[in-house]
Structure 1
Amino acid sequence: MTTASEPVQETPPRVRSTHDVNAMPPLRRAIPLGIQHVLAMFVSNVTVPIIIAGAAGLSEAQTTLMIQAAMFVAGIATLIQSLGLGPIGARLPIVMGTSFGFVPVLIPIAVGMGVPTALGAALCGGVAMALVGLFLPYVRFLFPPVVTGTFVIMIGTLLMPVGFAYIGGGFGAEDFGALHHWLLAALVLVVTIGLHQFGRGIWSEMSPLVGLVTGFVVALLFGYVDFSSLQSAAWFSLPVPFAIGVEFHLAAILPVVLLAIVTCAESIGDIVGTTVGGANREPTPKELSGGVMADGLASVFAAIFNAYPQISFSQNVGIVALTGVISRFVVAIGGGFLVIAGLLPKLGAIISGIPNSVLGGAVVIMFGMIASAGIKMLSGIEFNKRNMLIMAMSLATALGLPAQEGLYAGLPDNLTAIVDSGLIPGALIAIVLNLILPQHDRAMRDSV
């Protein structure tokens, strides 16, 4: 009981809540919530280095190194994005990870020019992203929903052939298309779809990871898992900068820089999704600019430490919207766990031993979900003649160019690198058409 002479000790409101961006909840709640974010993004984060390493023919040791780097860099990037570093970082509960969006462009670069060239181009792309973040108020008009949604659809659809190549056993597999590859991939698909649709809470959110682990265990029982690199991998090691190397070639830099600029639209969408879904408000200009700058500088850091470009992970934005847990310190704890995982090479060696067909069963769903997310982004726009034309020309270009081998064989090398994947010209067409097609012409507003 208090008296009039005794000051009342008031507890700051919601300081221990998970529904406040700046709140630090009790560790007994924060740690499991942070681990949940890590589990939701873990498979996607390590898949990119596995796919590119497989296409480029890297050794098991090099693949393990790049998996380790992907975990370490994602953890550091998440800490910077959530906690902030000066003007860098949104200071929001945003989980960072290796971007799938660069895979269609980086694979031909890694195969034709080498992985060091791909990393050099990625470093330059990171610089471009950071500059976009710095000047974001002046360039945001380039990325309306009709552009960003179409761009995300293109990413998902262009990744589909890669996913099905892994279902068949992976690039260059001697037993490509063998029955056991199909059966393992089907098992992963069934488990993942079942948990995603009928599981509750964390089981639904972890469905890709559980499906992958199930396929891995079955493959292990039947002798399809290769642990050849596990014995030689150390228990603990610090990531070494430039272990793979970095090389700079203009033909590789141009397409990656263009893609990096367009990819900023995806970052903007994730930041908006985080604040609207978790805090029921629009992000501030400082949050948007700091978030995109963090993506860019994290991508530069990633290239130095043998990893690929970093970006906010949409599935974790979905977790924030679903749970309402918007404490940035919860996500920072998850980032800390990723850093620790990146210091354990044996964990990377185990992951590199996952059979390609098991991985394929998981990534096909992920790639489909990426395309579905793009369709969802388009749901808020008006499907008039103008917007339909933008989508039609962009998708036709992005999907048609890669389908016809030799179509652009007469182009200079620099242009060939830009059009090779189809993603860059498709994205550029979306941006240019959005700028030049009239928005207020009555004829263009007529629904089709």
Structure 2
Amino acid sequence: MPQVKNIDFKDIFGAKTTFLSLQHLLAMYAGAIVVPLIVSSSLNFTTAQTLYLVSADIVISGIATFLQLYRGKFIGIGLPVVMACSFTAIGPMIKVGSQYGLSTMFGSILAAGVIIMLLAPIFAKLSHLFPPLVTGTIVTLIGATLIPVAINNLAGGQGSADFGNIDNLVLGLITFLIILFLYRYTKGFLQSISILIGLVAGMIIAIFMGKMDMQPILEASWFQLPMPFAIAAPSFNLSAIISLTIVGIISMIEVTGIDYALAGMYDKDIDEADLRRSYFSVGIGYMLAGIFNTSPQTAFSQNVGVVQMSGQKRKSIFINLIILMLICGLLPKIGAIATAVPAPVLGGAMIFLFGNVLSYGISVLGAQDLSDNRNQLMIGAAITIGLGVSIVPDAFAQLPEWLSWLTSSGIVAGAVTVVLLNAFFHGVKK
């Protein structure tokens, strides 16, 4: 097949590339559709609105991922930053939607996108606040704060009726062991798709155990096209805009951590221009989410784990992933197959994915000067606060609303802590 501007279409659509990208799709898909499902159920969406929201979310997430992967003059960092629905947005979206209506909710996401683009150059100038000690701590936190997600899935999914059931734990353990043995006793391509094989094998075993719900596949429609303002035309409210803009700032912080994590894996140095383009892409993604009535996006950490574990970094894999995301969004019947992956199977795979992110962050920290007690204090305090927010969120439930965004996620709380401590101990000069 032809090559256009160094793009090898034969590689993009090749069987090996597709298998590698399927790992990424299965790793992120369930998490990506949870947000629209929670929001739609909380705001009493009709069935048609819910189906639209889920499908459109995946399509816009695919476009947002492309905006990061593409490296242009104004957008894109040129790294495989997989973008999908932000869990941080759930609370603010439900609150704004309940109080002001759906038109204000989607209008606020659109306005937040514009504000993020205006803030992008300012945030990018703060890149000197993220030396390796800081980024290593943030990446370590990303892996550590995701551990409860893996364990909750392993037990059957938080809130499920059979949470902690022995069958769930066995199914997750079997999936884990399959991936473990494949990674240990195979090489090359088979080793690089060990997660995918483990997930598929886990799904097959789940069918025999009666743990595979086929109903979402049967009920899904065959085609769904995102349309501008399909659910509601935008309206604006200052308070609501501020609420969703804070969500956008959190997304920028999370994207920064993923940018640096991937840059280390790709042996790439990040400068101010790279971050500015990455933030611009975040802002455009938010604007598209507002226009097409979907949820705002953030960077997904689990895909960093897939990159680290598989060792496969070709851009063609992620172009293929974007195509798969678009197909799943436009053809919900196909996307529903990924939705049907049982939570324990995902949990077994997540142990590997999140563990690899955690170990990579530790390796970055290991290269720093840990004989300096100040550095030890910075790392320890940031990780303690980050994990504390994730494990005991109720401890911060009474914070005033204007301050509560700091504890909206362990990654944000830990990142802000380590940045401030680094500035306190080592100064803020470039």
Shared topology, TM-score over 0.5? yes
Please give the alpha-carbon distance, in whole angstroms, between the structure 1 residues aligned to 2:377 and 2:136. Answer: 14
Stretches of structure 2 that go unaligned for 5 or more consecutive residues are: none
Count of aligned residue pairs for this structure pair? 410
Equivalent position amino acid for 1:181 in 2: N
The counterpart of 2:30, out of the listed 24, 47, 58, is 47
Equivalent position amino acid for 1:396 in 2: T
- Residue 177 (structure 1) shift: 1.6
Matched with 1:262 is 253
Matched with 1:358 is 345
Question: Is the aligned partner of 1:75 residue 2:62?
Answer: yes
Between stretches 369-378 and 404-413, larger displacement belongs to 404-413
Cα gap change, 1:318/1:302 in structure 2, threshold over 3 Å: closer, same or farther?
Answer: farther
- Residue 148 (structure 1) shift: 1.9
Cα gap change, 1:136/1:271 in structure 2, threshold over 3 Å: closer, same or farther?
Answer: farther
Equivalent position amino acid for 2:263 in 1: V
Equivalent position amino acid for 1:391 in 2: I
Contact 2:256–2:275 under 8 Å retained in 1:
no
Question: Is the aligned partner of 1:341 residue 2:323?
Answer: no
Cα gap change, 1:221/1:46 in structure 2, threshold over 3 Å: closer, same or farther?
Answer: same
The counterpart of 1:430, out of the listed 408, 418, 422, is 418
Equivalent position amino acid for 1:272 in 2: A
Cα gap change, 1:28/1:111 in structure 2, threshold over 3 Å: closer, same or farther?
Answer: same
Please give the alpha-carbon distance, in whole angstroms, between the structure 2 residues aligned to 1:375 and 1:124. Answer: 38
Please give the alpha-carbon distance, in whole angstroms, between the structure 2 residues aligned to 1:428 and 1:31. Answer: 41
Matched with 2:304 is 314
Map Cα deviations across residues 407-444 of structure 1 (whole Å, 9 max, x no partner): 3454323434532544433221111111111369xxxx
Cα gap change, 1:83/1:49 in structure 2, threshold over 3 Å: closer, same or farther?
Answer: closer
Please give the alpha-carbon distance, in whole angstroms, between the structure 2 residues aligned to 1:29 and 1:372. Answer: 30
Equivalent position amino acid for 2:144 in 1: T
Please give the alpha-carbon distance, in whole angstroms, between the structure 2 residues aligned to 1:355 and 1:84. Answer: 36
- Residue 87 (structure 1) shift: 1.8
Between stretches 64-73 and 118-127, larger displacement belongs to 118-127
Between stretches 338-347 and 114-123, larger displacement belongs to 114-123
Contact 2:35–2:295 under 8 Å retained in 1:
no
- Residue 249 (structure 1) shift: 4.1
Cα gap change, 1:219/1:75 in structure 2, threshold over 3 Å: closer, same or farther?
Answer: same
Matched with 2:285 is 298
Question: Is the aligned partner of 1:160 residue 2:147?
Answer: yes
Matched with 2:82 is 96
Q: Secondary structure at the match of 2:139?
A: helix
Please give the alpha-carbon distance, in whole angstroms, between the structure 2 residues aligned to 1:118 and 1:422. Answer: 25
Contact 2:144–2:354 under 8 Å retained in 1:
yes
Please give the alpha-carbon distance, in whole angstroms, between the structure 1 residues aligned to 2:241 and 2:181. Answer: 46
- Residue 388 (structure 1) shift: 1.1
Q: TM-score, normalised by structure 1?
A: 0.75
Q: Secondary structure at the match of 1:229?
A: helix
Q: Secondary structure at the match of 2:83?
A: strand
Question: Is the aligned partner of 1:411 residue 2:393?
Answer: no
Q: Secondary structure at the match of 2:299?
A: strand
Matched with 1:134 is 121
Question: Is the aligned partner of 1:35 residue 2:11?
Answer: no
Equivalent position amino acid for 1:31 in 2: F
Aligned-residue RMSD, C-alpha: 4.0
- Residue 185 (structure 1) shift: 0.9
Please give the alpha-carbon distance, in whole angstroms, between the structure 2 residues aligned to 1:35 and 1:114. Answer: 38
Stretches of structure 1 that go unaligned for 5 or more consecutive residues are: 1-14, 441-448
Matched with 1:11 is none
Question: Is the aligned partner of 1:147 residue 2:134?
Answer: yes
Q: Secondary structure at the match of 1:294?
A: helix
Question: Is the aligned partner of 1:208 residue 2:195?
Answer: yes
Q: Which has the larger radius of gyration?
A: 1
Please give the alpha-carbon distance, in whole angstroms, between the structure 2 residues aligned to 1:24 and 1:319. Answer: 25
Aligned 1:129-278 pairs, distance under 5 A: 130-131=117-118, 133-135=120-122, 138-240=125-227, 249=240, 252-253=243-244, 256-270=247-261, 272-273=263-264, 276=267
Percent identity among equivalent residues?
Answer: 26
Q: TM-score, normalised by structure 2?
A: 0.78
Cα gap change, 1:79/1:425 in structure 2, threshold over 3 Å: closer, same or farther?
Answer: closer
Equivalent position amino acid for 2:328 in 1: A
Cα gap change, 1:401/1:50 in structure 2, threshold over 3 Å: closer, same or farther?
Answer: same
Equivalent position amino acid for 2:141 in 1: M
Please give the alpha-carbon distance, in whole angstroms, between the structure 1 residues aligned to 2:389 and 2:82. Answer: 31
Map Cα deviations across residues 246-283 of structure 1 (whole Å, 9 max, x no partner): 9974785475244223224224325634753xxxx646
Please give the alpha-carbon distance, in whole angstroms, between the structure 2 residues aligned to 1:78 and 1:421. Answer: 22
Cα gap change, 1:226/1:85 in structure 2, threshold over 3 Å: closer, same or farther?
Answer: same
Matched with 2:381 is 393
Please give the alpha-carbon distance, in whole angstroms, between the structure 1 residues aligned to 2:92 and 2:107. Answer: 11
Cα gap change, 1:380/1:305 in structure 2, threshold over 3 Å: closer, same or farther?
Answer: farther
Equivalent position amino acid for 1:28 in 2: K
Cα gap change, 1:79/1:51 in structure 2, threshold over 3 Å: closer, same or farther?
Answer: closer
- Residue 344 (structure 1) shift: 1.0
Matched with 1:444 is none
